[in-house]
Amino acid sequence: MKLVFATHNDHKLQEVRAILGDLVDVVSLKDLQDFDEIEENGLTLEENASIKARTVFARHGLPCFADDTGLEVKALDGAPGVYSARYAGPGHDAKANMAKLLKEMEGIEDRRARFRTVVSLVIDGKEYLFDGEVAGEIMLTPAGVEGFGYDPVFRPEGCTESFAEMSAEKKNGMSHRGRAIQTLARHLSQLPRK
C-alpha cells in the first residue's frame, strides 16, 4: 500500500522508512511534487497533525499520515511546545531556536524536558491519532552533528549522549517519533491487506 507522509523533511522520512520497513510504501510530499504551504495554525500538536493529514488527504485522495512534534521544557511551563519550530521567529531556524532555548535556560537548574510527537493517520475516510514521548533534559551546550532540530541540546534520560551524538538507529529506538511510528506500524499491520 502507498502511504503518504505529509513532510518535506528528509531526516524524518528516513527515520520513518527505517521503522515502517516493507509494511507500506512511504512517499513524501516531495515525491508527489507537492510544495504548497499548509498553515499549521492549531493550538495543540493534535490539531496540527490533524490539519496536515486531512489537508494532504483532501489534495491527493491517498491514505496519509502527518506528525507534529513539540519540545516541552518543565521550567518554561511547557514552552516551546507547539511553537517549537517557530521559537526564535518564523524562519524555522534550528540554530536560532537552540540558541534562544539555551538563553532562556541560563541559570536554571531544573533542565527536565520531553519531546512529544502526535501522528494523525487518515485512511479510508477515518482518522486515528497516535502519540509517543521521550523524557530527558536540556544540555548546557550543544553536542553532536547527527539528526536535526533540537537534537544537539537534548539528552534522553539514562543516556550520556545527546540525540545528535547517537546513530539514527539508537535515536529511533527510543525517540518520541520512533515510539509514535511504532504504534502506527502496529495499527497498519492489523489492517486487512488490499
Q: Which is nearer to ligand IMP, 28 or 69 (CB)?
A: 69
Residue 67 known to bind ligand: no
Binding-site ranges for ligand IMP (CB under 6 A) = 67-69, 71, 84-85, 94, 97, 147-151, 163, 175, 177
Q: Which is nearer to ligand IMP, 28 or 84 (CB)?
A: 84
Sorted by sequence, the CB contacts under 8 Å of residue 164 that are 6+ apart come out as: 142, 143, 144, 145, 146, 147, 151, 152
Sorted by sequence, the CB contacts under 8 Å of residue 147 that are 6+ apart come out as: 11, 163, 164, 166, 168, 171
HSE-CB at 156 with a 13 A cutoff on CA atoms is: 17
Residue 39 known to bind ligand: yes
Sorted by sequence, the CB contacts under 8 Å of residue 192 that are 6+ apart come out as: none
Residue 9 known to bind ligand: yes
Taking the complex as a whole, the smallest distance from the CB of residue 68 to ligand IMP amounts, in Å, to 4
- Active-site option among 68, 110, 124, 131: 68
Taking the complex as a whole, the smallest distance from the CB of residue 194 to ligand IMP amounts, in Å, to 29
Residue 148 known to bind ligand: yes
Q: Which is nearer to ligand IMP, 59 or 100 (CB)?
A: 100
**Under 8 Å between Cβ of 157 and 175:** no
Q: Say whether 93 is catalytic.
A: no
Q: Which residues of 149-180 are buried (b: 16+ CB within 10 A; e: fewer)?
A: bbbbbbbbeebeebbbbbebebbbebbbbbbb
Taking the complex as a whole, the smallest distance from the CB of residue 27 to ligand IMP amounts, in Å, to 18
Instruction: Give me Rg for the CA atoms of the chain.
Output: 17
| CA dihedral sign, ordered 19, 192, 183, 36 | positive
Residue 187 known to bind ligand: no
Question: Nearest-CB residue to ligand IMP?
Answer: 149
Taking the complex as a whole, the smallest distance from the CB of residue 192 to ligand IMP amounts, in Å, to 30
Q: Which is nearer to ligand IMP, 50 or 97 (CB)?
A: 97
- Residues at the annotated binding site for Mg(2+)? 39, 68
The residues that are catalytic are 68
- Residues at the annotated binding site for substrate? 7-12, 69, 148-151, 171, 176-177
- Residues at the annotated binding site? 7-12, 39, 68-69, 148-151, 171, 176-177
